[in-house]
Homo-oligomer: A and B are copies of this chain.
Amino acid sequence: MSNYNANLKFDTRGLIPVAVQSAVNGRLLMLAYANQEALERTFETGEAWFYSRSRGELWHKGSTSGNVMKVLEVRGDCDGDAVLYLVEEAGPACHTGERSCFHRVLFGQGGEDCLFLHSLEEVIAARSAGEDERSYTKRLLREGPQRAAQKVGEEAVETAIALAVGDMEGAAEEAADLLYHLLAALKSREIPLNRVLKRLAERHRAPGKTAGADPN
């Protein structure tokens, strides 16, 4: 914490851009600015502080909306002129009510598919809580954890057979089914996906490394 601004370059206004990424699902949530004091308060409180250019004042994100962002990690970039906050969201990051400020697609599609497992976890939770009786997810979860667990076994066997016989398209399909049912079964016991991913990271990442490096 002591050398947090040793190598950061603030612009002529004393500001540095801050990209804010969800540590829950990997989505880029917003791009804002911090001055030195905003960074200091972020480090001191573990909550996201910025500098509002429009209001010309320090900005404790969520102080009015209640959606305070807990900051898990702060990174600086190679040349010290940008910062990344990795945060736990507590509601929509955007003033429009959207999860992310970056919700306007200008070009292309499919860019966030790599994050879809987290989106699917949210959708399963919504379906489970919803009223639509035609929802497969809702019906599956109403049957209880044992049924959801059984489906994990079934889909895994189908995945294993497709892999064993070398049916590549089938294996991708069955692995997708397996992931869906694993998420549903975890939901049936209210175990968050990130609890599993954290266990995975703890086990396969060497201590102190920021990128996975040493699974046995």
Contact = CB atoms under 8 A, between A and B. Distances in A.
B163 A176 contact: no
The interface centre, meaning the residue of A115, A124, A127 with most chain B CB atoms within 10 A of its CB, is A115
Contacts of A178: 156, 182
B152 A204 contact: no
A14 to B, nearest CB: 16
A189 B159 CA distance: 12
Interface in A80-126: 81-84, 86-87, 94-96, 98-99, 101-120, 122-124
A55 interface: no
Contacts of A110: 23, 72-73, 198, 201
Contact of A175 (B4, B76, B182): B182
Contact of A19 (B19, B74, B156): B19
Nearest to A108: B73
Contacts of A19: 19, 28, 31, 102
A101 B24 CA distance: 21
Interface of A: 1, 3-4, 7, 17, 19, 21-26, 28, 30-31, 42-43, 46, 71-79, 81-84, 86-87, 94-96, 98-99, 101-120, 122-124, 127, 134-137, 145-146, 148-150, 152-153, 155-157, 159-161, 163-164, 166, 168, 171-173, 175-176, 178-180, 182, 185-186, 188-189, 191, 194-201, 203-205, 210-216
